[in-house]
Amino acid sequence: MKKAKDLNLGVKILIGLVLGIVIGGILWAVMGAEAAGSFTAKYVKPFGDIFVNLLKFIVVPLVLLSIMDGVISMGDIGKVGKIGWKTVAYFLVTTAIACIIGLIVANLFKGSFPMLELAEGAAYEAKTSNLMDTIVNLFPNNAITPMVNSSMLQIIVIALLFGCGVLVAGEKGKIFGDFISSFNEVTQRVMVFILKVSPLGVFCLMVWVVAAQGPKILGSLGLVLLAAYIGYAIHVVLVYSMSVKIFAKMSPMVFFKKIFPAAAFAFTSTSSVATLPVTKECCDEMDVQHEISSFVLPLGATVNMDGTAIYQCVAAIFLAKCVGIDLTVTQMIMIVITATLASIGTAGTSGAGMIMLAMVLDAVGVPTTYIGIIYGIDRLFDMGRTALNIVGDASCAVCVNEWESRK
């Protein structure tokens, strides 16, 4: 029998989820919703809040450093040339489309999502602003305030500017680039530590939610999972099929048959980075040039997160409905922008997508405390979104290969 310390993190989180549901359900049945909710809010929920605070603590340095390091790792902008711009443009467009698909599917399911019975005076309102204010507020007037206030879009802009500055500075910027790379590695290790305590955080938050709301909340988790996978399927069929057909002049059936081994490996491993060798081999079988696949696939494993974008949009709509927030068109545009940039900044570490979800929720004023509701089944979301990400990387590789071959 495996010792507890040897269990996979996903298994531990699942155990925490199940125990939280069972104990929360028992308290709800024995004490009643009002008494159980009051008791767990006072003595159990605070430990879940500690976990949420840790997530919020690591978001700012994680986003800032991972994006800067990703830009710096691209090397000389001139050397990357047109292949780099085509690759990044493809990833940005498909990720934005993924966000829109996620929002459409989530809004179709929204009527079936529950509204939690919050304590009196605990209602939440979405952050409101018009589109032009949102665009203007993307650009900070200083470098410190966005980090203090966790203004994620401004932090992303800061990261992009400084990352590009390091590349343009050349040799003189190398020392700063090495420092950022080292600092980013330390931040990743801190994030891993925080994720290790996530089973306890999930347990405490689920005890509180189920004790206060009753078992009715559980059926909604199946609905939000279904919504996400419908979004995944639509994105694969529409976006990737059309991309390889129109741009790569390849039969979608041939493409999906060739990339299936990598997608299956990604589905079980939930790691884009670990799947890289398999994806590379699949692209070799599709006659993608070595230098193109060697550039596009590692970059895609870092910045192409279409599955993560769909998941973040579906989860944001679900949690907004849970706390009674009716998001406007402007807030949904904000979700598209934030989820697109957040998915690019998502680290390759398992579970990092959940930390990026905190950033998306914060952008529209949805309290991050309720992440615990959905975190327990994150592994099930992760399997589908990782497989989708891998298929997206390969579709970009075959498209770029065709564009360059025409020359």
Give the model's pLDDT for residue 9.
Answer: 63
Give CA–CA dist 253/270, Å, rounded.
Answer: 24
In which band, very low, low, confident or very high, does the pLDDT at 353 lie, cut at 50, 70 and 90? low
Query: What does the pLDDT read at residue 5?
Result: 44
pLDDT in tens, 46-63: 888 887 788 778 777 877
Rounded to whole angstroms, the Cα distance separating 196 from 156 reads: 26
Statement: residue 274 has pLDDT above 60: yes
Helix/strand/coil (H/E/C) assignment for every residue in 366-398? CCHHHHHHHHCCHHHHHHHHHHHHHHHHHHHHH
Return the DSSP state at 127: -
Q: Residue 36: its pLDDT value, please?
A: 83
Lookup: tokens for 260? 């299936």
- This prediction has a pTM of 0.65
Q: What does the pLDDT look like over 116-153, one tens digit per residue? A: 554 444 444 444 444 566 567 778 888 888 888 767 66
The three-state secondary structure class of 140 is: coil
CA distance 252 to 236: 10
163 and 179 in contact (C-beta within 8 Å)? no
Determine the Cα–Cα distance for residues 102 and 98; give it in Å rounded to an integer: 6
Q: What is the pLDDT at residue 235?
A: 93
Cβ pair 40, 27 in contact under 8 A: yes
- Architecture category of domain 7-116+123-405 in CATH: Orthogonal Bundle (1.10)
Residue 386 amino acid letter:
T
pLDDT value, residue 122: 42
pLDDT class for 233, splitting at 50, 70, 90?
very high
Per the prediction, the chain carries an average pLDDT of: 76
CA nearest neighbour of 155 among 254, 49, 230, 67: 67
Average pLDDT over residues 78-89: 69
Whether the pLDDT of residue 6 is over 50: the answer is no
Candidates 127, 153, 150; CA nearest to 139 is: 153
CB atoms within 10 A of CB 55: 23
Say what the pLDDT of residue 297 is: 78
Q: What is the residue extent of each domain of the chain? A: 7-116+123-405
- pLDDT of 126 reads 43
With a CB cutoff of 8 Å and minimum separation 6, the contacts of 87 are: 295, 296, 299, 300, 396, 400
